[in-house]
Structure 1
Amino acid sequence: MSDIIKGKVYVLGDDIDTDQIIPASYLVYRVDDPEESKLYGKYALSGLPVDIKKDSPFVKEGEFTSDYTVVLAGKNFGCGSSREHAPLCLEKAGVKAVIAESYARIFYRNAIDGAFLVPYESAAKIFDKFSTGDEIELDGEKSTIKNLTTGEEFSLKSMGDAYEIVKAGGIFKYAKNKM
């Protein structure tokens, strides 16, 4: 995992729940089968309200991955049911990181433990400073995100030891390396 992530950002608001991230009707695919597991990417964020999806679909029709590398949201990202498929589907769609003001604890832990993506917390409300499609540069080492479209830069909270777990490839690989 690189400390620098560049790409397009997909902007959401507060209280994005796991049913919006991956609706329960799509939890039927095997995660250990490459052909079936890519369908999780296809349906990532497919439960968002129609007014969000119609303007900027997260995954284009007929595709399995998204043009967006980072998801930026407000408070309480990943709330709702405790499905580990939520960070998995975002990873399958090509997301490298989610930045939110705060997370539901289970989403945060699932993202880190499985090393699906990096769940950064913003130091302040910043999702309204970006537009979907803006080019960004996220620096994990410095804990910053820069909007390359506007030139503005913002601080992120340090992930502490959790960052090392994600970089190692998940909690089990991290623990194995520490033994």
Structure 2
Amino acid sequence: MSTGDDPDPATPARAWVFGDDIDTDQIIPSRFIVSSDPEEIAQHTFEDLRPEFSESVRAGEFVVGGENFGSGSSREQAPLSLLGAGVAGVVAQSFARIFFRNAINLGLPVLISPEAGRIRDGDEIHMELDTGTIVNHTRDERYEAEPLPEFLQSIVERGGLKPYTKAKLNEQ
């Protein structure tokens, strides 16, 4: 696992592709939720599904899911573990609503794209959050996604809801 500076979703990096109905227990098994430290729980991200993930993922890489990514519990530790692993963003065909909102609240970029299934494991991609475009450099393709509304983009750009709220309060 590699962490460090905040990864930039606009920088091309490897895609880790997962299928449909990836639930929060598959992202971070509940037996490892003994901490809310992102780097600590990141060591167990996708441990049962892809044991090599936590050791092999590099800061700035992406997770790509199919339908209903992040279903299951409302635990914030699922997107938190992805942030701790240095994941730059998640693209999926659809998200469970609570995972989607938790990701935004924590500052993890997420895009919904019906074309996410065209991305293959190991492809080099990047996300353009303002336009909702995903660029696949490996296949020389562009996929459309629903861009985040401006206010949600602002939350993600500030690093999550807490830093966003703090900045807004300081502006007054």
Please report the TM-score for the alignment, with normalisation by the length of structure 1.
Answer: 0.82
Matches within 5 A, 1:23-172: 23-31=29-37, 37-48=38-49, 53=50, 57-60=52-55, 66-67=57-58, 69-115=61-107, 117-122=108-113, 124-127=114-117, 129-160=118-149, 161-172=151-162
Question: Which sections of structure 1, spanning at least 5 residues, go unmatched?
Answer: 32-36
Contact 2:115 2:144 in 1 (8 A): no
Question: Aligned to 2:167, what secondary structure does the other structure show?
Answer: helix
Moved more, 68-77 or 85-94: 68-77
For residues 78 and 168 of structure 2, the distance between their equivalents in structure 1, rounded to whole angstroms, comes to: 28
- Which amino acid in structure 1 is aligned with residue 39 of structure 2? K
Give the fraction of aligned pairs with identical amino acids, expressed as a percent: 38
Runs of 4+ in 1 over 2 A off after TM superposition: 175-179
1:30, CA displacement in angstroms?
A: 4.7
1:76, CA displacement in angstroms?
A: 0.8
Contact 2:9 2:88 in 1 (8 A): no
Give the alignment's Cα RMSD to 1 decimal: 1.9
Please report the TM-score for the alignment, with normalisation by the length of structure 2.
Answer: 0.85
Contact 1:139 1:145 in 2 (8 A): yes
Contact 2:133 2:144 in 1 (8 A): yes
